Structure 1
């Protein structure tokens, strides 16, 4: 059996369909690169990384294949001997043919792509929805006669992975934050070309403890630029905490985890829509998107991003006004046979092979836990609001290097730069976990008392030095005065798990309150708001054990 790969996008679709043949020793999968694509380099690298057996195109066209499977109709596929199964290239058929602004034929359904010398290219044209079959029949009755609605294997993987959402968010470091995903297709009308500043603007404008920002780019963008150049281009946003998903599996796990999705006209957004995630449209119009296509209908119904207005309020409004079924109803025009695609595809493929399929159902592979490289900002600008004469405090932190934000600078010893430490009004240090210590042999360890005194002596701009001992307890020294303890508690949740804030964010709230109340009457309990959630911070005098706690 031969899998004909034209690009990384096509390869990803083929890999999602592979469980159809899993465990069958009669099937030997081989791969070949279909010539003619500008985006085949990454596909070859991915095949090598997976340990796939590849054959040169010249050899592939000479051999005899019991079945050929492809996910793009482009290129000289007719030269490959054997029946061809053509899988969907993406979610729906939403774009015009390249370099066409008048023809309303969808790319992937046009006769010139699906016919060779007047005959259908494929023995089976697998589609995801009956509406696609009806559109195909309008283009070519002959091709439609060989088509069948089998659903979408990629969507079925995402549906099967919904119960893993909490694990994905743990791996992404999302915590209690709202995960905002930006999705971009490729080409001149894409979000990445028209609004390249949007990911960086989101990381700069959205409070760090309330939101996490991620970017999902079309595989062709990764192929065109290369990972090194792409990360160089996004370096400031990545340093501010932006997550960049890789184009196979990670993007799907990330969108399964998302709370809100900002999208252009690319069909990828139909997947989080099918999962009923709130969406915001970022497409400014053009000639690529087909009227009355599923993506056109979706973009016409979801809120539209106003780039000249604050972003946080628009995201919050989209989430607050979203009702169950709003997005999944819009995606219903793109996906049928949900949860059944692999079974239906297996039946059709084994019929072409002339074999009985293996016994038992096809197992859908859930998406693996993402391993996206993530960076934590090296320092923050913290804006604190203190109720006059009271104990209510709110804090919003922003990556320091994302722009001027006001407030005090919060730096972390061992993580921030020297310049950031010198300008910080609050410096904190996190206690090392016991597992990070050398169990035998020499070790150099600060005590809380020694470290706080050292910081206040050597960094004159610092007014508060604080040690984070755990999620629940911190010890601070203010202007070389007595050590104070901060006990952090979060209230019980009625509808979900407890959300623990970053203790460093709570320390910024305490620091701001102490600026306004330099001679506090202790004990004092502060009602803090961190990441939009209530947190209590009780200030007391530290104990001797606190002073000699090791960092």
Structure 2
């Protein structure tokens, strides 16, 4: 048990005596990390307007939590069950963008990637600590439990992932659905709102916005080249920072903002990890980044991009590998601004090759995701128009 008081909610003993809307299908949204939560926040709107469906959230895990995660989930205003209670119930559908704890829930589990793709770009898992065997997010060890395939649907980004699944966990291949990438679809569709995003970020007419994008870990922009935040803040351009949620989850928001304090006082805008990073990428004149998903999305959706880091070992022809091959590198020993202006001047549009390896169903992800969820729920899909909401305007801090 997780020590939290159980909630008198729409499931469990005597639930029928408490509810006002009767007969709803229950959908459990599992949020073990903020990264998973932000990806699921792109999928939940495909269901939330349907009065036949009750959404319920939980933070999996009894003994460990990422810093700030409970506050994030409760801040959504959703029905949140403690993990101990959530494990006791059965659901019509379980949504997750992680493999954590999925063997402990009861219901049809739909697994989505929490970033670019399921196969992952890193050859070796950092979770394993010194792993010597190459892994993917489609391996038998994460998709099965005691010989049982856990997911009822594995949402793949590309046909290439289906080939990987058939090799790494063939018994789960029948659950695969090639759905594309909803995050990239939304960013591409949101480019027409670019001027509004720039205004929300305080970018003046004629001013250049440069965003520093960082994944987490020691191979990230933040971990390898923290001095970039200081150097850019002296260049006379508008500067924003997009930080992977695990940076603040591992170090604490106060520590991260303390380290960046001088830059913030010089004008750096730190984009909250749960709202606004996509809009910042769309609004930017240039993104400086690493091998992480946010940098890939920037380049694939059309923003000039330059790479600032040396990546870890990557799978050949993975999205991160394509990003590294196609994107100019920053020379940290040379003057900064001439390199940035050169990258912007030579930019010729979205990285089409990168976009092709990120999604095999461009523009179709929302439709495929919604139809799959309603099929799993056993409900007729609504006739209302499919919501393809633009990415949200950034909150700045």
TM-score, length basis structure 1: 0.64
| More contact order relative to length (CA 8 Å, sep ≥ 6) | 2
Matches within 5 A, 1:131-150: 131-150=160-179
Contact 2:67/2:250, CA 8 A, preserved across alignment: no
What secondary structure does 1:29 align onto?
Answer: strand
Pair 1:193 & 2:220 matched: no
1:47 CA displacement: 1.7
Which of 151, 165, 184 is the matching residue for 2:180? Answer: 151
Q: Number of paired residues?
A: 365
- Residue number in structure 2 paired with 1:97: 125
Please state which structure has a larger fraction of its residues in strand: 1
- Runs of 4+ in structure 1 deviating by more than 6 angstroms, as ranges, are none
Contact 1:11/1:43, CA 8 A, preserved across alignment: no
Which of 30, 33, 48 is the matching residue for 1:7? Answer: 33
Contact 1:264/1:283, CA 8 A, preserved across alignment: yes
1:102 CA displacement: 3.6
Matches within 5 A, 1:497-508: none
Matches within 5 A, 1:356-505: 356-373=380-397
- Residue number in structure 2 paired with 1:19: 45
The Cα RMSD (Å) is: 1.7
Pair 1:218 & 2:244 matched: yes
1:196-215 Cα shifts (integer Å, max 9, x gaps): 111111112x1x1xx22111
1:369 CA displacement: 2.1
1:52-104 Cα shifts (integer Å, max 9, x gaps): 11111111111111111111012x21121111000111112212322355423
1:270-322 Cα shifts (integer Å, max 9, x gaps): 211221222111222434x3333111121122111110001101111111111
Which of 163, 171, 174 is the matching residue for 2:192? Answer: 163
- Residue number in structure 2 paired with 1:235: 261
**Where does the alignment leave 5 or more consecutive residues of structure 1 unmatched?**
374-551
Contact 1:202/1:213, CA 8 A, preserved across alignment: yes
Q: Which whole-Å CA distance do the structure 1 matches of 2:311 and 2:192 have between them? A: 36
Matches within 5 A, 1:312-327: 312-325=337-350, 327=351
Q: 1:292 to 1:179 in 2, by over 3 A?
A: same
Q: Which whole-Å CA distance do the structure 2 matches of 1:265 and 1:172 have between them? A: 25
Which of 364, 375, 379 is the matching residue for 1:355? Answer: 379
Q: 1:38 to 1:79 in 2, by over 3 A?
A: closer
Contact 1:8/1:39, CA 8 A, preserved across alignment: no
Q: Which whole-Å CA distance do the structure 2 matches of 1:285 and 1:25 have between them? A: 46
**Where does the alignment leave 5 or more consecutive residues of structure 2 unmatched?**
1-26
What secondary structure does 2:68 align onto?
Answer: helix
Q: Which whole-Å CA distance do the structure 2 matches of 1:78 and 1:190 have between them? A: 31
Pair 1:123 & 2:177 matched: no
1:151 CA displacement: 1.6
Which of 262, 282, 294 is the matching residue for 1:268? Answer: 294
Contact 2:97/2:114, CA 8 A, preserved across alignment: yes
Q: Which whole-Å CA distance do the structure 1 matches of 2:385 and 2:221 have between them? A: 40
- Residue number in structure 2 paired with 1:447: none
1:39 CA displacement: 5.2
Q: Which whole-Å CA distance do the structure 1 matches of 2:63 and 2:384 have between them? A: 38
Q: 1:130 to 1:38 in 2, by over 3 A?
A: farther
- Residue number in structure 2 paired with 1:341: 365
Contact 2:291/2:323, CA 8 A, preserved across alignment: no
- Rg comparison, structure with higher value: 1
Contact 2:221/2:309, CA 8 A, preserved across alignment: yes
TM-score, length basis structure 2: 0.88
1:381-438 Cα shifts (integer Å, max 9, x gaps): xxxxxxxxxxxxxxxxxxxxxxxxxxxxxxxxxxxxxxxxxxxxxxxxxxxxxxxxxx
- Residue number in structure 1 paired with 2:356: 332
